[in-house]
Amino acid sequence: MSAGVRRVAFVCLGNICRSPTADVVMAALLERAGVDGVSVESCGTADWHVGGPMDRRTAAVLDDAGYDPSRHRARQFGPSWFDHDLILTMDATNHADVLAMLPADRHDRVRLFRSFDPEVDRTGPIPDVPDPWSGGEAGFLEVLAIVERSCRVLLSELVETA
């Protein structure tokens, strides 16, 4: 990762499950670690939920784990997000959508979120963060586990390059 990452965006489809989970967890980790000067935000590639809160199941899992999900309001990815230093997409479709919208000279800022997952073999394809929306609580818990371990690695890399 390049030095000087100050603005991180997490991107999924509707900005109500996966990317807000990453946003809330990463913000908490940054605060607990006393890291100043790095901001995190989340958005979706679709506009279905703009202005609304995260999915209630996502909020419940975050709240049960000790995070505060209350500040989230869904937003949509667009030109105002192009200046983020690091844009982390939750799946291959989000990744392709973001690359299609971004100017070519900014493509190097986009990575799949699970490229930070310590349980992923980086010699092969990077897997998606599974979308829990159409499933039960187990899917939301799985997303939280993926996000927590990936954000811990991201945090260490942000601190190293600061």
Residues annotated as catalytic are 12, 18, 131
CA angle 67, 35, 145 (to 5 degrees): 35
Q: Report how far residue 123's alpha carbon sits from residue 34's, in angstroms, rounded to the nearest whole number.
A: 33
